[in-house]
Amino acid sequence: MPLHPEIAKFLAGLPAPAEGPLDPVAMRAADEAHVAPVHERLPLHAVEDMTVRTPSGDVPVRVYTPDEADAHGVLVYFHGGAFFLGSLETHDHVARALAKETGLKVVSVGYRLAPEAAFPAGLDDCYAVVRRVAEQGRSLGWDGTTLAVAGDSSGGTFAAAVAARAHDDGFDRITHQILYYPSLDLDFDVDRYPSLRENAVGYGLETAGLKPFNAFYLDSGADPADPLVSPVKRRDLTGLPPALVVTGQYDPMRDEGELYGRRLREAGVRTAVSRYDGAGHGFVQHFSWLPEYHRVFEETRDFLDPADPADRADRADRADRADRGK
């Protein structure tokens, strides 16, 4: 189908990009200027800003509690923004929608950004928060069952990398990984994936913009050949948590996400790959007010609470083993 008419109208109204090098400070300020005031945001039972103490330092988080229940499963969310943009504020509406639709407590992570913080600072922050949630989750109201990681765009990179890093460390509490149009291959050779050419121009994020937008991260020491930087380059995907990979029809990075989903399936990982027609990159952040794309939160809910009794038994067994190990 063609690009969604609301997305096409939005893109047609955008000003031409400024010439010259990207200015992270100015771009962050512009993003923050579009954040809705608190009284216009989706109401939840509780929203609280906290600090999580980790080996790499104090990490700000925002905790979203959907209802009055004493305990919940937890979803740890990593915002997108090409590793140098985005914040707890710019993605507040995404975290609220996730909490509302899934019924999980959402912990949104304000990780350190490039270029001020060199690789792997942001990844370390994300991983450390997940570990702390598992270790001290009772104080957050975690019920000891679901512990999912999720992210959009570069946040999806971090979600995949955190899941892999946890597996390698023998930390098996992560139950799901949810990747919204993830950036999984930071080698931007335009011949690597057909979508880099098919969706190169006219759909918001353009292929020519991938290198300059990710340069702050790569120049800080992130090597595209490293599977923690480009998760699609990981050779062995066996044993990773079940995955939901969401892509957009007109996203230049569509094919790398779908390839990762296929490889996960081939490795025996329960994986759902879902392409949203008419959508480009960033549709969860920018266009989830449209019913067609708000459905992504409902799909996430269904993925996190499957009818498969084997999956429920596996989560219960993980929780039991963790309790016995305390």
pLDDT digits (tens, 9 = 90+) for 28-41: 999 999 999 999 99
**Can you give the pLDDT at residue 308?**
55
pTM above 0.85? yes
**Can you give the pLDDT at residue 181?**
98
- In total, the chain counts a number of residues equal to 326
Nearest CA to 152 out of 195, 99, 68, 91 is that of 91
The answer to whether the beta carbons of residues 251 and 199 sit under 8 Å apart is yes
Helices 154-168 and 121-140, axial angle in degrees (round to 10): 70
Distance CA 146, CA 296 (A): 19
**Can you give the pLDDT at residue 326?**
43
**Can you give the pLDDT at residue 316?**
47
The answer to whether the beta carbons of residues 248 and 281 sit under 8 Å apart is yes
Q: Which residues are catalytic, by number?
A: 153, 251, 281
**Can you give the pLDDT at residue 278?**
98
The answer to whether the beta carbons of residues 170 and 247 sit under 8 Å apart is no
Q: List Cβ neighbours of 105 (8 Å cut-off, separation of 6 or more).
A: 63, 64, 65, 66, 72, 73, 74, 75, 99, 140, 141, 142
Nearest CA to 150 out of 234, 231, 246 is that of 246
**Can you give the pLDDT at residue 311?**
56
The answer to whether the beta carbons of residues 159 and 181 sit under 8 Å apart is no
Nearest CA to 229 out of 118, 305, 135 is that of 118
**Can you give the pLDDT at residue 307?**
56
**Can you give the pLDDT at residue 322?**
46
Name the H helices within the chain: 5-12, 24-33, 92-102, 121-140, 154-168, 194-198, 210-219, 254-266, 283-286, 291-304, 309-324
> Which residues of the chain register pLDDT less than 50?
309-310, 313, 316, 318-326
